[in-house]
Amino acid sequence: MVKQPVLFLDSGIGGMPYCYHFHRRNPGETIVYIADRLHFPYGGRKREELAGILSGLTERAVRKFNPKIAVLACNTASVTALGELRERFPDLPFVGTVPAVKPATLASRTGKIGVLGTELTIGESYIKELADENGGGEVIGIAAPELVEFVERKAAYASTGEKIQTVRGYINRFRAAGVDVLVLGCTHFLILIDEFKEAAAPDITVFDSIKGVTQRVESLLAGGDNNSEDTAGNCLFLTGSAPPEPSWVYWAGRLGFSVSLFEEE
């Protein structure tokens, strides 16, 4: 019996921290990571357009891999399309990567919650609703599409100093606004989480949802069939027909994954 994989979906490398954390804790699970570089970035797209893209991508992944769980490893996709995907694919459990607004709101002393994300995520009412459900506060959102591009294109080779300098400008804006908690509301930004924490210390606490997402996937796996008879190789797939860029070989190598193209059938 071929082992059903756990599927991770993102527009690029943003889901890598989630994938890495899950893989480290669950080395016996087969993982398929699909990076939709053909439609990168997701953050500037309309809700309906993005839902259609993700629906088509998921349909192809289901036909090819028959995954047992899908992790929507993109904050933008999770806050805009998760409900529609669950309706479209009722037999496939989805785990979203919703920004960690709840714990940040509960921890804030000033009542000012910073959220750094894509244009689509920052514009969603869902973010403010999450804060209101957990005590309320002023949500101060900053859209940073240029940071998504930096992480996707340059982070693999940037020096620590360059990465610190890149995030410091955002931290300074949040600090000037009186924020004491910061939610990294785009999975791409978690690639720079160490730099964000260094720049934010000691007065701003940085929040992410990596552990919570892994725990949710593990809870679903505990209630299902792990199909442990055979382990296929873990693989990172890229949409589009262009050869994998060196950065993708780098990220796949960190996980010990192979790299392949996820071409149209």
Of the listed 35, 74, 167, 199, which one is catalytic? 74
Is 203 found in the same domain as 225? no
**Domain housing 142:** 101-208
In a domain, 13, yes or no: yes
Domain count, the chain: 2
Instruction: List, as one string, the DSSP characters of the chain.
Output: -PPPPEEEEESSGGGHHHHHHHHHH-TTS-EEEEE-GGG---TTS-HHHHHHHHHHHHHHHHHHH--SEEEE--HHHHHHHHHHHHHH-TTS-EEE---SHHHHHHH-SSSEEEEEE-HHHHH-HHHHHHHHHTT--EEEEEE-HHHHHHHHHTTTT--HHHHHHHHHHHHHHHHHTT--EEEE-SGGGGGGHHHHHHHHTTT-EEE--HHHHHHHHHHHHHTS---TT--PPPEEEE-SSSPPPHHHHHHHHHHT-EEEE----
In a domain, 117, yes or no: yes
pLDDT value of residue 228: 45
Is 115 found in the same domain as 69? no
Of the listed 54, 186, 192, 210, which one is catalytic? 186
pLDDT value of residue 265: 61
Is 19 noted as a catalytic residue in this protein?
Answer: no
pTM as predicted? 0.90
CATH code, domain carrying 110: 3.40.50.1860
pLDDT value of residue 224: 55
Is 235 noted as a catalytic residue in this protein?
Answer: no
In a domain, 1, yes or no: no
Residue range 205-226, pLDDT digits in tens: 999 999 999 999 999 998 655 5
Is 183 found in the same domain as 90? no
pLDDT value of residue 181: 98
pLDDT value of residue 262: 93
Is 190 found in the same domain as 257? no
User: In the chain, which stretches have pLDDT less than 50?
Assistant: 1, 227-231
Is 204 found in the same domain as 119? yes
Give the domain-ending residue among 165, 189, 208. 208
Is 115 found in the same domain as 142? yes
Is 202 found in the same domain as 149? yes
In a domain, 10, yes or no: yes
